[in-house]
Every structure is written in C-alpha cells, then in structure tokens.
Structure 1
Amino acid sequence: MPEFVIGDTDFLLDGKPFQIISGALHYFRVHPDLWADRIDKARRMGLNTIETYVAWNAHSPEPGEFDVSGGLDLDRFLRLIAEAGMYAIVRPGPYICAEWDNGGLPTWLLRDPELRVREFEPRYLAAVRGYLDDVYRVVAPHQIDRGGPVLLVQVENEYGAFGSDKRYLAALTHYTRAAGITVPLTTVDQPTHEMLANGGLDGVLHRTASFGSQSTARLKTLREHQPTGPLMCSEFWNGWFDHWGAHHHTTSVEGSAADLDALLAAGASVNLYMFHGGTNFGLTNGANDKGVYQPLVTSYDYDAPLDEAGDPTPKYHAFREVIARYHKVPDSVPPEARPAPTPVAVLGDPAWLLDSPRRWGTAQEHENLPTFDELTPAPRLAFLRTTVDVGAPGVLTFGEVRDRATVFFDGDRLGTLLREHRDRAIRLPRARGELLVLVEDLGRVNYGERIGEAKGIIGGARVHGEPLTGWEVVPVDVPALPDLLPEVSAAERPSGPLSGPVAVRGGFDLDEPADLFLDTGHWGKGLVWINGFLLGRYWRRGPQRTLYVPRPAVRAGRNDVVVLELDTMLEPEARFVPRPLLGHTEA
C-alpha cells in the first residue's frame, strides 16, 4: 500500500517529496449528482487533492443520528475522488466555522445548560467522541495506507482563535487515533504567534496556516512555530463570503494568482479556500457577530475559481497557468458558461399563513414563552400567539429578538423587528386583542464567542412591565411546507402585489434539465422550493438577487415552484435569467 508521511522538509509519498495542491469542495454544499463534475474540473485545473469539511449538524440533526444518505454520502464522495485519480483531506471539526450554521455544531448540544463547547468538558467530549467515531467509520477505510485517497485529517479548526485548552486538543487526537486514523494529523490557524501557539500540540499535530495574501511573510511566521516538516497554507483565501445588506465580495485575479505563485515557488503545499464554494441550500447559512449580527446569504460562490454553478472563471484559468509552472496539468479545460434557459412561471393559489397558523405545524401550549432551543426539534420559523388584555394600550417589549420578528395584532401587521437593528419594542394600538408574532432564525453564528447561543425570543415578552403568558407556539414545518398547501379548488392568480406571510405556487416547462438562475428582485423576503427541493432564502436587501437552481433539481417537461413570501411580493411571477446576479461590489 502507498505510504504518506511527514518528512524533515516535505510531505513524502512513497518516499518522494509530494507537494499538495488542493482545493476545498464541500460535498454538503453541492448537489450529489454534480460531485463528479466538480471533482473533474478540479483535476483539470491542475489540483491533485480535494479537501472537505464534515458538518456534524448536517449528519446529526438529533442525538443518536448519523445520516449518510443522498447529499451526505461522504463514502461516495471519497470514492469519486479516488476514481478521479486524486487525493483527499478530511476536516471533521467537530467545529468547522465554514460560514455554516452554528459552525457545524448541533443545536441539541446546548440543551444541556452545563455543557461547554470546544473545551475539555466531559459531556461535550462524550458527544464529540460519538460523532468522530461515526465519521471515522466512513473515513478510515479510505486512508491512503489502505488503498484510498485520504492523505491528511485535521483536528479541530482554527482553535487558536478561540481557546488554548491543550487537554481538549489531546483528547480529540486520542479519539482520532483510537478510531483507526493512521495518516498524519494537522491543525490550522491564522499566522499570528498567539494563534499558532494556542492552536497546536508540539510534536503531535502538524501546524498549517490560513491566509489570503503576503504569502512569503505568512510562511515565515508559520515556520517559527513549525520548525521542521513541510509548510502548508491549508486555507488560501482566494475569495470571501457575503452577508445580507452588504456588497458582493471579490478579490483580484492577478493578486490571488501572484500569491499562489509565491506559495508554490516556496515549495509550500496549498489548499484553495474555496475551489468551488457551492450553495447554502435550505436554511444552512451561518452568521457573524462582531458587535453587529450579520447573517450570510444563500450563495456561497466565494468568488472561487469555479463559480456557484460550476463554471470556470478568470481565476480558474489564472490559477491553472500558475500551477502549470510547477506541475503538469491536463490538456483540456472545461467549457465556458452558456446562458441558462429563461422560463417564466405565473404564481397563484395564495395560501395566507395567518388564516390557519396550525396548518403549518403542530401547535404546543406553553405558559411562558419558550426560546426555539427549548423546542424539539428547534424550529427555524414559528408562530407565537397569545391574548393581550392589559387595561390600556401600551408598548410590547421583548427581552431580545433573534433574529427577525413580525408582529400582528388582530390580524393587522404592526411591523418587523430586526436583531441587527437591536429592535425589541413596538406599540400596541389597543389594550385587548390577539397578538401573533412570526419569528425567524436567520442563521446561527459560526465564529467567535456567540457560537451556540439560543434562538427565537429571548427573555419573554412584556406589556406595562408585566410578562405575557398563555402562549400557543406553532413551529413551522419548513421542509414539508409545499406538501401542507391546501388543495386548489379554483385557481387564483393575483393581479398585483401580495403581502405576506403567503405561499404561492406555479409551474414552468423545460425542454431538458439545465442549471437555472431564479431572479428574486421583485420579491421581498422568503424561501423557494423547486420540485420540493428547498433552494434557500432570498431577501430584497441583497446583495444576492438570483438563486441558483442545480440541473438535477429540475426535469424535462413540467416543473413546480413554491414561494413562501414573508414580506411583500411586488410581482407574483417566477422569472429566470441567463446568468447569476450576485450583487454590486466595492469597485
């Protein structure tokens, strides 16, 4: 069997120096029917390795579960990498950041108020060990010394930016080895002295760095903390992510290519973050909070060499040219993108969610208003309803809104409160009436101290300083929503704008399956399903305007579209456009 080890100055593959030229490709952000295509395009750019995170919360939405079906079939993903003649790097966390909801940590961990994440805490470590055992049952047979593609496994992720608990890192290392992982183990940290010192274990875990510029200087700092062995930038940031209400981030093609050239010229190994970003399908986007809460958009295009739809960009060709200076690259390159089909679907049959909130989930009775995390499973969208009878009109106040709450009183919309604006109060027009609040979790923080915080309404609701009690809570069954729509008795086609929350539906025809780009520019805020596949969120505030529809999600002939509009829809039509519209840039 092949042997892959860490030498004095290089990675050694069967005793010969081996420079890893890798690209990040997260299987859980790409439709599984497109995995082979994306892997092949990585090979044709000159990469020899594919790196992926493993998202614990995707595989284990509840304790005791470990789903490896469909788009979570890590075994199949690794087999496809091997079939393409490439190698693999696996980064299972348990914390991954990745601009992914909660940094990959399952929400059910925090049901135990005594549990503390990312440190040497017995209850957390017990859960982590179970997860790592599940992951490594899949990964271990794919290691290179067993004839598979896996060269490296990473322990934790940028831990030096969070803590310095060496016992915790040692425990993760022990669990990894005990589960049958024999390939070299690595860590990754930003190249500052403090982070590299805090995030590693001398002589046990091989340190690598994450950065996107100043390659020579960054490698010098890394070498001070990793005095022997190969240098590696295991997250070469060749792009960046976007959050709602900001601009679309891009990086210079020429600048990124020059920094990649400097890395390869220095003999360092590299993993492009990202080679192909993919999409935060469904409700999987994370958020950042460094004083202001900023949820991430649905697209994870990342300004990567391969764009969200899997087409090569100028960065793809520039990187391929750089790699060709040091290694042989395949002769052929992928074709350029072609304009996508542009069907139009008229949306009608409106189902007003307030007409029957109980249609959309199972109602629960609670004396005091619970947070989302006190419900099982924790919802992403929920109706909270109670009766107000307070003697005189007053101001409704919440302890904290996480992350968006639209308030209705006797069916009339009073307004929407946003976490990022620190909204938490709204005037009630009367002393008596039915209060209904539609609360949305916009994505859990994936980086920093706020990882694992509760969602929903925190600290209850009050009027005149007195708590409101006697709540009916209806968690909306978001994945099942298209199936919960009422039967159509007489097709209704709205002639003008719609005010949500309302679900509408329609259909469009295609001659053959193709990637599509759904233009949401005339809608407000909500979710879209195509043939039951939840594409993700849209929001008028941008920057993202189109939602990517992967080719395997559509079919020749008739296709169904369902839209849940939570705000206002100016035009009840689903229009598709030839190319993606990801928003304005800083330039």
Structure 2
Amino acid sequence: MAEVPYESRGSLTFKNGDFILDQKPLRILSGTMHYFRVVPEYWEDRLLKMKACGLNTVETYVAWNKHEEYPGKFDFEGILDVRKFVQVAQKVGLYVIFRPGPYICAEWDFGGLPSWLLADENMKVRSNYKPYQDAVDRFFARLLPLVTDLQHSKGGPIIAVQVENEYGSYSDEVEHLMFVKELLLKYGTQELLLTSENIFGLKRAAFYQHALPTANFPEMGDGQKLFDMIREWSPDFPLMVMEFWPGWFDHWGQGHKGLAMPLFENCLTGILDAGGSFNMYMFHGGTNFGFMAGANYFANSTYKPDITSYDYDAPLSEAGDITPKFLRAREIVFEKVLKPSGISKLPDLPPNTPKANYGKVPCTHTMSFNQMLAYVKNNIECPSPIPMEHLKIHGGYGQNYGYIVYRTTLPAGKRLQFSSLPQDRAQIFINGTFIHVIDWRNPDLGINVDCTQDTNTLEILVENHGRVNYVEFGLNLLNEHRKGLTGDVSIDGKKLESWNIIPLEFDKEFVKSVCQCDKWVATSPSTCCYPALFKATLTITDAPKDTFLCTKGWGKGIVFLNGFNLGRFWCVGPQQTLYVPAPLLQQGDNQILIFEQENPGMSIEFLDAPILDETDKSNVEEADKEYPTGS
C-alpha cells in the first residue's frame, strides 16, 4: 500500500503545488536571521530591511545550548527573548518560519545542542536514546508554550515549524524524526510541519508522509534534482528552498568565502522561474558572539573551526548594512514576483546604522596568567586528564566552553608523548616557558623536550575551539568530540599522574572578579608576557556608534567589552576585526578586557569598517576541496 503524502492541518496549507494561506495563494519570500546572533536593539532594523527587500517572511532557528545552560537552568531574556523576536517580526509585517531543532547545525557550537549532554559517556544525540529524548522533552516543554499563541491560527505570525534539521545527512533512523514531530504536537504546535534536506539526505530520511519536504542548495543543478524528488512524492507539494545559500561561512586560516553575484542571480532567478518559494540562508548572518562559533568535519578532511563573524556574504552584512547583493535580490524579487502580482512599489530603504572610527586605544594594564587563575573557583584533582565535559562541576555536568588548564609535576626526560590529539588546541609550557602547540594543524603527538631537572612543572592550556556542528553521514563525532585532554600524557614512556585541572570558563562572575581586582600592573614591553590579561579603556564623548575592533598586531585570544564576550580573534585570519554593535557601548568609559594567548600588543584600534578577508600567508590552510553540504 502506497504511503499517503503529508497534508497540512495548519493555517498554511498547499494544493496543486501552491501554498495557500487565508484561502489565498502565497509565495513564501523568506530570509534567515537568528535572534541570538544580533543584539535585540537591532532586531527591528534588520527586519524592516528584510521587508524593504520585498520579503514577506523571516526564518529563525532556536539555540538550545544558549537557552538551557545546564539541565533545568533556562534563559529567555535579552538576546535570548525568542518570543519578543517573533512579536517584532509580526510588528513589521512578516510571517515567521520557526525551526526549534533541537539540532540546528548553523555553524553554531555543537549544532545548538547543549554540551552537558556529553557528560553522559553513552550519549547518542539525534537519536531515540532515552536520556537524549528526556532532555529534548524538557526543553520543548519550556520553549514551545512561549510561542504557541503566536501561531497564525491564533492570530500570530508563525506559519510553519520545522522537524529537526537536515537529518538525512546524519542518519537514516526516521523513528527519531517521528519522536520530534510528536513532541511538537504534544506541546501545542498546530501549523504546517516541514523538513529540510540537502542533495545527500532527502531520500535517505524520507519523511514526506509526516511533514512537507523542502530543499537546501546553492545552485539549480542540485536544486532541480531535489525539486524532482519532491514532486515525485506528491504533485501537491509546493517547491520550497528552505536554505538557498547566497553566501558561505569562513574557517580560521582559510580565505574569505561567499557566492559570486552571477551565481547568486542565476540561482534566485531559477527558483522563482520554477514557481518555487525560498528562504535565503542567511539573509543577515550576524555574529558568533562569545564561544558560540562551531566547526565542521567533512569526509577526507580535518576539523575546521569557524570564525567569529557570521557575515556569510549575505544581502545584509554582519553589521546590518545593505549590500549590492541586497539591491540585486530586491530587483529580482520585485520583477519576478511582486510586480506581476500588482505591487507597484517597495518600501523605502532604511538607512544603515552609523559607524565610527575611534582610533587607537592603549592597553594600560596587564595581569599574569597565574594571578588570573587564582580567581577561578573550581580546582579539580584527578589521577589522569579528563575532558571538560566530564569534570564534576555544575552539578556533575562539566564545563561548557572556554579553556581548560592541566598541571602536573614532570620528572627529567626527553620525550613528551600524548596518547590522543588534544581537543582542540594545546599550548604546552614547562616551568612557565612556552614549548610547543599541538592542534589539528600541528597534530604530532610527540614533542622533544630537554628536562634535566628532577622536578618540573608541566602546564597545558587547551582551548575548546568550537564543537563540531556538522558531520557527514556515518561519522559519529557528535557523540565523541569532547574537549580538552582525552587521553594520557607520558614522559619517556612513563605515564604522568596526579593532575590539577582548572576550568577556565570566562563566565560573567570570573570576568567581573578579575576586572575589579587589584592585581593589575602597568603595561610595558617588560610586562607583556603571555598568556595574560590586558585592559584598556575606550572613552566616547557622544552617542555611541557601531565600530570594529581591529586585532592586528595581536596573536590569538578573546575580547570582552563592558563584560560582554565579543568572541575570538586570531592573526591567521581571514577575520581581523570584531564587530562592536553600538548598544554594547556607552557614553563615557568602556572597559576592554583581552585574553591574549600568544603575541601581546600594546594597543588596539577601532575602525569604521570590517576586515574579513585578510589571511596570514605563512599560516593559511588549503581550502576545502569539496563544496560543503549544508548549514
């Protein structure tokens, strides 16, 4: 017996290949913007620009790992106020496509999954493993009631809800999609359900009996194949590109990517000429603030961590500016869709936010690494190194983000050996002197050392550079990629024991403590050691404007502005500036805190334009040989 294709019971339905809303045909013209990548003061500005481009819908993911920091500890305030974001979209006249995951990919740490799931050594994410199911259930029980009254059937803007995300690229266990679907229904979802898949996953995880299938692609070659598959399942299914990629994301140490204008024009035109609806992923990328940038692991490749900027070469820049791609999209949408439907004029273009060049600011004070570590509250004694997710802190759920320090006593010896590759970047110090870096770029696990003293101090600073958010089918990395040291360390074949482990999380309490303490000394060339903290003050005399903090002349680290984590920087590029939205600044003094790991500078500079395409030629990696498959 043939399986019956899905029929929507929501406000948004479909027939004969068309979407229907309020008994009228609807062409969905959508763009992606993630509330958690944009300061809330700018949500309305970006959404109004979306409207001015001719779009009628905004799509957003939900970042579970930001909303539930630890089990049962929820946050839906400020930049995480997803309900308010949906309400702002309705205010400016946009429908909403809601993609709650629980897995979202999105070049976001662990694909939006909370890292505390990995405290369970047997965890199987994105499956019907019972502890994972229970965690998802608890999250949806809090999230979904916040927005169920904002569904279109209840007078709100939400017209569609997605079931998981690109599941066929990860697994063929369709039973898990059924579990997610049932949870959505359990907690009040009434609108059209859909899935989204790329060329590799659409048939592998066919779910067309339970949700509308949609496609993800950057060019019409793959697109036509996906459209044909969808139409084979049902001629009633409308053609919808849930992720039309108008650009791409960047990895540290590689060149700046994007999508050339002719390819962008051809794909957008092709979708519309085929009668399709679209969602541009991304329309406005925003920023991977803090430690939220994820990483990818493609077959026949290695770990590839993403940069802080999520500019994406999108129609709206990272700072929300209108780009040539925006203007071309506006022309195409108007000519192909809006003008034929009787719309004679688009809204006027809103202005871009003003930008400021505040110039150079000296770093006035510094604090040594050891003095900084004195303000870390947790200090764990352990016979062997363990990853951050297995530390018995935060109720036994481990450390989420940041760095982790491993210390032990090192006897005399000549060869230091790691049994497994540190995750993700280990700086090794002996008696306070830097020795070597081990990471995915320098994976040699054996290091020649010259320890002639009987007793030495070995110190290993490991940076969590972002958990993998996308792995290809058949790879089990999502369940295995724990951070820090995941194996033993030995000297001349003798295993090192009795470790002191310090979780350097850079949480708000720690940042506030070090900023207010009296351990700072004046910065000078003689005091510029590393790793270390550095402090500077930006004084603004008038209303603050957007600006870009230039990290040229520095090595690698993170920056806090008035206690807010702007994100990572690294001299290898391609990103050389960090975006600073004006709402994070204040008139008067603004405190800048820099954790520098490798090459301290004496000042920082604030520019009025970003630098996102400048790589250190001596460190640049070879670009990915295959086109990445999804977001």
TM-score (norm 2): 0.88
In structure 2, relative to structure 1, the CA distance for the partners of 1:285 and 1:16 (3 Å cut) is same
1:320 to 330, 350, 370: 330
Distance 2:595 2:51 in 1: 39
Partner of 1:478: 506
Contact 1:405 1:417 in 2 (8 A): yes
Distance 2:517 2:126 in 1: 48
Distance 1:360 1:574 in 2: 27
Stretch moving more, 249-258 or 393-402: 393-402
Deviation readout 1:21-73 (Å, 9 max, x if unpaired) = 00000001111111111111111111100100011111112111221111111
Matched, 1:423 2:455: no
Stretch moving more, 332-341 or 237-246: 332-341
Partner of 1:540: 571
Distance 2:47 2:467 in 1: 29
Residue 89 of structure 1: SS of its match in structure 2? strand
2:13 to 5, 26, 42: 5
Distance 1:474 1:196 in 2: 44
Q: Which amino acid aligns with 1:474?
A: I
Identity value in percent:
36
Distance 1:205 1:556 in 2: 50
Q: Which amino acid aligns with 2:512?
A: D
Contact 1:27 1:52 in 2 (8 A): yes
How far the C-alpha of 1:582 sits from its partner, in A, is 0.1
In structure 2, relative to structure 1, the CA distance for the partners of 1:307 and 1:497 (3 Å cut) is farther
Partner of 1:341: 357
Matched, 1:219 2:227: yes
Matched, 1:146 2:162: no
Distance 1:286 1:477 in 2: 17
Distance 2:296 2:543 in 1: 39
Residue 228 of structure 2: SS of its match in structure 1? helix
Distance 1:251 1:32 in 2: 28
Distance 1:309 1:490 in 2: 34
Deviation readout 1:94-149 (Å, 9 max, x if unpaired) = 11110000011111112222231112222221221222222211121110000000
1:44-123 aligned at under 5 Å gives the runs 44-123=52-131
Contact 1:361 1:477 in 2 (8 A): no
1:408 to 415, 429, 432: 429
2:409 to 383, 387, 399: 387
Partner of 2:385: 369
Q: Which amino acid aligns with 2:215?
A: A
Partner of 1:500: 530
1:167-246 aligned at under 5 Å gives the runs 167-192=175-200, 195-214=201-220, 215-246=223-254
Contact 1:277 1:301 in 2 (8 A): yes
Matched, 1:359 2:388: no
1:266 to 274, 277, 293: 274
How many residue pairs get matched? 581
Contact 1:158 1:188 in 2 (8 A): yes
Distance 2:235 2:263 in 1: 28
Matched, 1:580 2:610: yes
- Root-mean-square deviation (CA, aligned residues, Å) is 1.9
1:275 to 271, 283, 297: 283
1:465 to 493, 499, 513: 493
Stretch moving more, 476-485 or 544-553: 476-485
In structure 2, relative to structure 1, the CA distance for the partners of 1:265 and 1:84 (3 Å cut) is same
Contact 1:196 1:225 in 2 (8 A): no
Distance 1:181 1:370 in 2: 41
TM-score (norm 1): 0.95
Distance 2:217 2:110 in 1: 22
Distance 1:373 1:148 in 2: 40
How far the C-alpha of 1:544 sits from its partner, in A, is 0.3
Contact 2:469 2:478 in 1 (8 A): yes
Distance 1:231 1:422 in 2: 45
Distance 2:329 2:187 in 1: 37
Runs of 4+ in 1 over 6 A off after TM superposition: none
In structure 1, the gaps of 5 or more residues are none
Residue 85 of structure 1: SS of its match in structure 2? coil
Distance 1:275 1:526 in 2: 29
Distance 2:446 2:503 in 1: 22
Q: Which amino acid aligns with 2:313?
A: D
Contact 1:6 1:184 in 2 (8 A): no
Partner of 1:165: 173
Partner of 2:559: 528
